[in-house]
Structure 1
Amino acid sequence: MKRIHPSLILLVTAVLAYGILIPQLGFYWDDLPMSWIRYELGAEAMTQYFSNNRPAWGWLYQMTTLIFPQVPIYWQVFALLWRWFGAVVVWAIIRELWKDKSDFALSLSLLFLLYPGFNQQWVAYLYSHFFIVLFFFLLSIYLMLRRRTVVALIFSALNLWMMEYFFVLELARVGFIWTFLRDSYPDPKERLRSTFKLWTPYLALFALAVLFRLFIFNNQVYGFSLVSQLKTDPFTTLLSLLQSILASLWTVTFAAWSQVFTGLDPSTHGIRTVALYVAVILTVFAIMVVYFFKSSREEKTNRYAWYAIGLGLFLLPFAGVPFWATGLNISLAHPASRFTLPFMLGVSLILAGLLALIPRERWRYALLAVLIGLASGRQFLWSTDYLRDWQSQKNLFWQMTWRAPGLKPGTLVLMNEELSFYADNSISAPLNWIYAPDNRSDKIDYVLFYPTNRINSSLPALKPDIPIRYDYLAGTFEGNTSQTLAFYYDPPACLRLLDPVLDVENRFLSADSLMRDAAALSNADRILAAQKAVIPAIYGPEPGHGWCYYFEKAELARQLGDWETVTRLGDEAFALSDYPNNPLERFVFIEGYAHAGRWERAVELSKVSYRVSKEVVGPLLCRLWERIETETAGGVERNEALGQIHNLFACAPQ
């Protein structure tokens, strides 16, 4: 194994941790709106999007999107490669700082590669560009240590001008210089002079970048609230800042790495996922054991470990400044775990240094192998979470197009926040892509809001006749709350267009979601049944027609008053091996059979639904049968059926 270059060890580990599910993964979070803007609205729209939001970074997107199409697998591989490139450069940096510590360099770069504080690797279109910028910063450090000053300054400038995440980290460069010169200049005074001399051009470049951001391009993504708060209430602000710093440092170090010991749930992940998880851990563990135990040798001193710990501690404050200054909360949850990215190198230096302090070599490498194996497995488990969410999002839009083949422009879509890795802004993009594929203007036809996120802001209230104007990335949406469709999505149950008659009192809808209030606004007349939505190629071929297909099509037929189609679909649906996952999914067929005069079947399905939850379903069935009674003509069978329903469910007589 000693003949294998460390970069290959890093590549194999990266593929095992991040790449096993790549062919099945898709686009997530900001991937969807940003790729939709570039590929569907065009390069000009992308330029407009970045015009007030990291314009230099936008140039990077313009270049990469000329190379790769809007196909998830290309971007997944692209992001994985840049994650690997960054780890390789970290290895090279450590080799420059400690030329005789090759095993230490590999162990540190592995910890960097698998850092579990960041768990969004598969938001690939977006984060591949984060990792490119991080690579620029790391490469500038390496080139500086190799005395390639001009090229190092170029890559440093690319980091400074593209985005703010690694901006202040540039000041930590002086720590690398100080460490690098430790042997050449043992005397602290001489080393200080030499350090400042080597740092001067980079410090000047940093100062120029600060001036540029202050006086030329001062439209930052996040506002700096700390200064104004210090003026208003300095004591409280400083205390709050200290608490935030300490909490952040705990989060990016101990809390982040503690995640490798958690996460596996056989009931959620299934046998196949558990087997792959164990296989990833054991394979990576075996690679680590074979490589390190065969290549290691006894060390006479661990002084380098203390230097690494010191350098890591020095880096941490610089990594956190952009977030502490803007009041952003550093956490391990999606999507805020992206704020841990600048901390990766500092934390890895500290952890690798602590491991290097373990006196017995075998124990040291055994613990390292365990950590690397578990971290690989944890990252793999996160990839399965992303796979499930991508499949869930694909099912969402297939079911939506079955239920609503077309939408009138200006429709506001309200939905509960069910998807884990998609904001409402995220899925507004495919909503427009599907229902308005030919719209290239700056007038956005549709937006999707999660009421919990938008109430009292973009969505003033869940009341009718309220104008909605929303600036959506590359254009503006104009609508009205009276032009709303309200959907509820709770897989494995089918997507449901909420019924203003039934769902305002539906306790199956989470009260916290605000969707009972939204149901009152739901207006099925916004649906254009004669149109045919176009599902983009990234969503794959149409899935097989199971229960949800028949349910959605029956709901559309009910809306059109086509009861013959409803009953035909019902007969086909109930003949499947598939079945409803929500008792309300039978309601459309109850109503259809009633309108078709098949009263016994309607009563039978009502009884089945009622048994699921008498307290919740009973009142809803009463409302449904009230509508049936109003809309159907009298008759003996009808009257008998209504009498049974009133007696069974204690419905109040009309």
Structure 2
Amino acid sequence: MGQILVEEIRAAVLGAWRQIITLPPTAGINIGYVLLVASVFLICLVILIKRGDTAESASPVIPLSLGGLAILLAGIPFWITGIPVQLEFPWDRSSLPFMIGTSLLISGGVLLVRPILRNPAIALLIALSTGMHYQNYVFYQIEWEKLNQFFWQMTWRAPGLEPGTILVSDEIPILYYGDNNLTPILNWIYDPDQQSKELAYNFFDLGERLGKNLPALEPDMPVSHGYRFLNFSSNSNFLLPVYFDSENCLKIIDDSMSNYEKIPNRLREIEAFANPYDLIQIQNHNTPPRFLPEPEHSWCYFYQKAGLAVQMKNWQEVEDLFFLVKEQGLKPQDQTEWLPFIRGLAFSGNLENALEITQIGLHNEKAKPVICSMWNNIAATESLNPDVLEAYSQLECQ
């Protein structure tokens, strides 16, 4: 208990203030960050010097004593209840009551500094603190953009969902949004007129729900989840596994992705019995709420639309999307994202372009097993088509 107490005080006091000297989350804002910190430092320093008050006669004993007492009192509720005090989300909120005591300690610490250095020290603390808040702003903006991309890509690929569908992810890559935060948005999109206390859709993070609300990764398992005063009931046949890497596009996990090494093993287990095409309704046209503005139609838009067209077996639509992508010079970072275009072009008879993008994808060793698996499937399906078999024979997949 004593060790936990010391560690949590150290996190709330030293750890929190150590954050002010961390670098910005992305290299692209370094100039803005430096200019902001430098400007605030100079402004504060000028103001403090003009005031001409260095508090030479003030004693550090009182703020240090009160600060230490305030920190101990702030931690009592958490130590009694066992709630952790950490700087990592979501437990960082537990550090808020320590702010007053920590601020008093900082004030006392500044009084220990030589008078001639106090004003620069105070100005530097204020400037670095401002920089940290700016970093938080940038980070939250990045997370918001991830959220926006996630749901727009979801609706581009799945304009409608069968009631009872459970989106399943393993370790959601959107830091400040857990599955409980994503479930309301999911229902807002796909069931905007919902009036009852029964939720039509749910979002499960396997790390949180497996073994609790979701008993096991097997078919025909009952699923239930209480959300505030609402209820959700379904079964594991309605699991829709998704994989989202913010550097690439959202992926609906189906049998074409079984050889994709990035997919977490637990999502592979679900893919073995999941039926995504049965859950995605192509006749609906749901879109995210207005507070999530539609992003620019870049590569991921065409990737999702091509995936939807493949589900509809609208090969001409896939071909049209491919030519739009080619015209705009768009390319994926993840070469497996050529899959819907390869399938659509092959079945539309445009084997020349299908082979062209296949060869591009095969240069990536990580994408090769996935692309070859796709062509094995195409060759098996079109076994009586000599043109397809001729194209297949040109690949290093056999």
Partner Cα distance (2:258, 2:55) in 1: 71
The SS at the match of 1:470 is strand
Alignment correspondent of 1:546: 298
Alignment correspondent of 1:260: 20
Q: In the alignment, is residue 375 of structure 1 matched against residue 129 of structure 2?
A: yes
Residue identity opposite 2:129 in structure 1: A
2:187 aligns with one of 432, 437, 446: 432
Alignment correspondent of 2:310: 558
- Aligned pairs for 1:162-241 (under 5 A) are 241=1
- Aligned pairs for 1:319-330 (under 5 A) are 319-330=74-85
1:522/1:244 CA distance change after superposition, 3 Å: farther
Alignment correspondent of 2:252: 497
1:293 aligns with one of 49, 55, 58: 49
2:27 aligns with one of 256, 269, 277: 269
1:375/1:522 CA distance change after superposition, 3 Å: farther
The structure that has the greater radius of gyration is: 1
8 A Cα contact 2:70 2:101, kept in partner: yes
8 A Cα contact 1:498 1:522, kept in partner: no
Alignment correspondent of 1:640: 390
Partner Cα distance (1:489, 1:464) in 2: 23
Deviation for aligned residue 1:633: 5.4
Deviations 1:292-316 (A, max 9, x none): 111133645333x211110111111
Residue identity opposite 1:552 in structure 2: Q
Deviations 1:178-209 (A, max 9, x none): xxxxxxxxxxxxxxxxxxxxxxxxxxxxxxxx
Q: In the alignment, is residue 591 of structure 1 matched against residue 321 of structure 2?
A: no
1:529 aligns with one of 262, 272, 282: 282
Q: In the alignment, is residue 249 of structure 1 matched against residue 1 of structure 2?
A: no
Residue identity opposite 1:281 in structure 2: V
Compare the two structures and name the one with the higher helix fraction: 1
Deviation for aligned residue 1:583: 1.2
Residue identity opposite 1:631 in structure 2: T
8 A Cα contact 1:547 1:576, kept in partner: no
8 A Cα contact 1:403 1:556, kept in partner: yes
8 A Cα contact 2:215 2:222, kept in partner: no
Structure 1 alignment gaps of length 5 or more: 1-240
Partner Cα distance (1:642, 1:432) in 2: 43
Partner Cα distance (1:246, 1:469) in 2: 40
8 A Cα contact 2:252 2:276, kept in partner: no
Deviation for aligned residue 1:462: 1.7
Q: In the alignment, is residue 515 of structure 1 matched against residue 267 of structure 2?
A: yes
- Aligned pairs for 1:438-457 (under 5 A) are 438-457=193-212
Partner Cα distance (2:51, 2:82) in 1: 46
1:610/1:347 CA distance change after superposition, 3 Å: same
Partner Cα distance (1:429, 1:269) in 2: 34
Partner Cα distance (1:627, 1:475) in 2: 43
Structure 2 alignment gaps of length 5 or more: none
Partner Cα distance (1:535, 1:300) in 2: 59
Deviation for aligned residue 1:510: 4.2
Partner Cα distance (1:627, 1:342) in 2: 59
TM-score between both structures, scaled by the size of structure 1: 0.59
The SS at the match of 1:505 is coil
Alignment correspondent of 1:463: 218
Partner Cα distance (2:56, 2:46) in 1: 23
Alignment correspondent of 2:117: 363
Partner Cα distance (1:606, 1:325) in 2: 61
Partner Cα distance (2:83, 2:54) in 1: 45
Alignment correspondent of 1:180: none
Partner Cα distance (1:356, 1:607) in 2: 68
The SS at the match of 1:386 is helix
Partner Cα distance (2:163, 2:79) in 1: 42
Partner Cα distance (1:456, 1:340) in 2: 31
Alignment correspondent of 1:307: 62
